[in-house]
Each structure stands twice: as C-alpha cells, then as structure tokens.
C-alpha cells in the first residue's frame, strides 16, 4: 500500500512545536478538562443522537449560536427524527428554516435524510465513507457528527478551531490557501483526543468562541496558553493572517408588491424562484430587480410592471418603504412599491419561473427569504392604494 506523503508545513513562528504530535497528550487533555468545566449549556450538547447533532452542526454554519438555539428547538419539534424530515415536503422544511439564511443547507439536510431513509437507515450511521456521499456533507460536518455521536477520532476545522490551531501551532501563512489548509487538517488529525474526540473537537470550537477571539484574546485564562506559539510571541492577534475583505458594493432594487381584491378576497402576486437559482432557490418572493446604473427606480418600476403585466396594465402604485439588507459583499437598498390591480392578470415569466395570486394565510405558510418576509410584513400593514 502506498503511504501518503505528509503535506509540507507552512511558515511558522520560531519556537512553535516542530510536530503537532509533540503536544500530545497534554494539550488535548487540558482542553477537554476545561470544556468539561466551562462549556455553555446548549441544547445539542444534551444528546448523543447523530441526527440532532447533525441538524445543530448544519445550522451553526455561518450562523451565531444564540440565533440557532430557537431554530434548533422548533425544527426538531417539527421533524423530531430522520424519518420525519425525509417525509416532509420541501416547502415545509424551507419555511422552518426561514430566517437562518443559506437555504442550501436546508436542502442538503432534506435531500440527505431522504437518501438515508431510502437506504434503510433510521439515523446517521458511523460510516464516514457513506456520509461523505450525502449532499452538503462536508468533511467538517461529517467529522463533527461522527466524533460527537459515535466517538470516532476524526478532526475538525472550522472558523473558530482554525483560529485556535493557527495560534497554537504558530502558522504564519493564510489558512485559506490550499496547501496551508491541507496541513492544518493533517495537524488537527494528529491532535484528536482518542478518549473523547467529541468533547475535544467541541473544546476547540468553544475556545475560539469564548477565549481565543479574533481581537483581544483572553490569553491569561486560556487553557492552551502553555503550548501556544502565538501567545508566547506576545502578538496573538497577528494570527491567523487576515485576507483583505472585498469592497462593499451598494445596490438599489425595486420590489413590486402587487395585490388585487379587498378584505378576505385580497390576493398577492408572488413568484417562486427556480430550483436552479444560485441563491434562495425554491423560495417565494415579490417580483424585484436591481436598478441599472443608467436608470432610475421610477423607470425600472415602469419597465418591471410592463414586463410582468403588459403595457395596458395600469395598477395604482404608491411607495411603501425601504428595506435594507446585505448579501455577501452587496449592501442592498430595496424600494418597496405597493400596487393594486382591479383584475388579476397572469404575469409574463420565463419558463423556469412559477407565479401565483396568493391569499394572506397562504403567504404565512410559504418559505420566503428574510428580506422578502420583511417586505411582506411591511406591505401587509399598508391600507389600499
């Protein structure tokens, strides 16, 4: 059998441990002992159920812990088992996820649950190769679940643990670079605590969240301080190396909330985004589009009305408000216009889009993106045009 060549170590601080394995067993034992005493009381830490741990780990990706807690409980109330999630309609899953963002995570959970149940599994099995084939199941998520639920000694690397390891090991290169990232995974594998790998992996993340913060790390109370090359250097904040953030681009959009009828007979025009959309796929929304640099919101609104309803349509329109939100490197200012039609029309859409005139109770049950839910909350309170 061919032996894999270890990845080339990156540039590191003078005095850093020459081999991560040299920190065994003291460092992992110290972190587990610290975690056992100081860990936050979080709902997913009261179970060894692989399904529940999986849900929590997916929710925690790019989302703060305090936000996830409420969603985690509600999600499991709706889908308490893997089979329940697999049997649920996608729109119900997306509606339960609404507000967490990054909806691809919810779709990955749902699709993976279906695959596992189809294969006869009642829960996530302790099979790394099988889990690696599931949609959206990256190495971090897989290893986090398997180490916490099944006690497999597998490493993890995410934002918090990456920062902790870069500082302990004195990595002086950008951890986003492929070769550096590969070496960090190799180093993390050497440091996994075999006695309680789940607690050790959680300790790394907890340390990054509570102590080894990006700015002003609390080195004086850090359990890893005796082995930390960055703390010994006197400049722990210098690591990991920070990549320059992209410039924020300002975008203006026009959103048309179009309705017809009055009272209980009121209907609203919503469009479902294609399943192939790069963002918010499958979610419902009010028609909206960006204002070109060489145009105005008024002209863009007029073009959008004519494109949707034809030149003969003359809905009464008034300005309802502005919704501000951010998407990656874009800061979006969405001008919401409320329109009223006497008679509903079938909008002109591409063959990949779907639309419907929906009553208020129906909108309440459909999955909308967070900005679009804010649009709905805004226009639902505005009286007739």
Structure tokens at 129: 């190769």
Is 98 tagged catalytic? no
Taking the C-alpha atoms of residue 385 and residue 383, their distance in angstroms, rounded to an integer, is 7
Q: Which residues pair with 319 in a beta bridge?
A: 337
Which of 57, 158, 253, 337 is the catalytic position?
Answer: 57
Structure tokens at 381: 């309170």
Which ranges of 152-279 does DSSP label H, i.e. alpha helix?
A: 159-169, 178-191, 197-210, 229-233
| Residue 38, C-beta contacts closer than 8 angstroms, at least 6 positions apart | 206, 210
CB 270 within 8 A of CB 284: yes
CA angle 105, 69, 223 (to 5 degrees): 100
* Chain mean position to CA 203: 21
CB 4 within 8 A of CB 16: no
Neighbouring C-beta atoms of residue 66, cutoff 10 Å: 8
Q: What is the DSSP letter of 294?
A: T
Which phi and psi angles does 354 have, rounded to 5°?
A: -130, 145
Find tokens 């929906």 and name the residue.
358
Instruction: Catalogue the active-site residues.
Output: 57
């Amino acid at each position: 059998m061919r032996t894999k060549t270890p990845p080339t170590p990156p540039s590191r601080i003078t005095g850093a441990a020459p081999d991560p394995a040299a920190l065994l067993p003291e460092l992992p034992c110290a972190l587990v002992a610290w975690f056992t005493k100081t860990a936050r009381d979080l709902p997913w830490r009261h179970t060894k159920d692989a399904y529940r741990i999986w849900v929590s780990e997916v929710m925690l990706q790019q989302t703060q812990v305090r936000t996830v807690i409420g969603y985690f409980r509600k999600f499991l109330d709706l889908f308490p088992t893997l089979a329940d999630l697999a049997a649920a309609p996608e729109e119900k899953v997306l509606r339960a996820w609404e507000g967490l963002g990054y909806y691809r995570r919810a779709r990955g959970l749902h699709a993976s649950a279906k695959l596992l149940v189809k294969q006869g599994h009642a829960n996530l099995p302790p099979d790394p190769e099988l889990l690696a084939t599931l949609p959206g199941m990256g190495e971090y998520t897989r290893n986090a679940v398997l180490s916490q639920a099944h006690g497999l000694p597998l490493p993890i690397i995410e934002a918090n643990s990456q920062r902790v390891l870069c500082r302990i090991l004195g990595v002086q290169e950008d951890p986003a670079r492929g070769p550096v990232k590969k070496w960090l995974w190799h180093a993390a594998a050497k440091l996994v605590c075999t006695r309680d790998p789940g607690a050790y992996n959680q300790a790394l993340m907890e340390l990054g969240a509570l102590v080894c913060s990006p700015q002003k790390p609390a080195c004086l109370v850090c359990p890893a301080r005796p082995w930390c090359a960055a703390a010994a250097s006197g400049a722990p904040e210098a690591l990991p190396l920070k990549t320059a953030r992209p410039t924020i681009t300002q975008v203006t959009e026009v959103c048309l909330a179009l309705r017809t009828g009055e009272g209980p007979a009121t209907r609203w025009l919503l469009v479902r985004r294609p399943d192939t959309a790069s963002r918010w796929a499958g979610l419902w929304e009010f028609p909206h589009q960006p204002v070109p640099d060489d145009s105005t919101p008024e002209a863009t609104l007029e073009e959008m009305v004519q494109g949707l309803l034809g030149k003969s349509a003359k809905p009464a329109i008034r300005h309802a408000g502005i919704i501000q939100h951010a998407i990656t490197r874009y800061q979006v200012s969405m001008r919401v216009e409320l329109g009223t039609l006497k008679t509903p029309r079938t909008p002109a859409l591409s063959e990949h889009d779907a639309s419907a005139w929906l009553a208020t109770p129906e909108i309440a049950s459909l999955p909308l993106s967070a900005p679009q839910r804010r649009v709905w909350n805004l226009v639902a309170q505005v009286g007739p045009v």
